[in-house]
Amino acid sequence: MYCYTCQSDEQHRRLTADEKSWLKNRTGRKTVEEFFMCTAPGCRNLRTGFQKHPFDPVIRVPLP
Ligand SMILES: [Zn+2]
């Protein structure tokens, strides 16, 4: 999938349970199942399956 911050197609993965909890707190959303994280080194930018730029400014998942 295309990554907005890498400006290229990159691998993404679904969020772990801990990352989902973090994102719920961060955004106030009840569900975050639609989000994917870019796995390019140092990126960790979030997108959904449909939106490449769901947050402005972008939200990156913090390192554990
Ligand atoms: Zn990226």
Ligand 1 centroid vs 24 CA: distance in angstroms?
A: 21
pLDDT tens digits, residue range 26-62? 999 999 999 999 999 999 999 999 999 999 999 999 9
Ligand 1 centroid vs 56 CA: distance in angstroms?
A: 15
Round to whole Å and give the CA distance between 35 and 48.
4
64: pLDDT confidence band, cut at 50, 70 and 90?
Answer: confident
Ligand 1 centroid vs 33 CA: distance in angstroms?
A: 19
DSSP 19: H
Mean pLDDT confidence for 10-36: 98
Ligand 1 centroid vs 22 CA: distance in angstroms?
A: 19
Mean pLDDT confidence for 6-26: 98
Q: For the chain, how long is the longest CA-to-CA vector?
A: 30
Domain boundaries along the sequence of the chain: 2-48
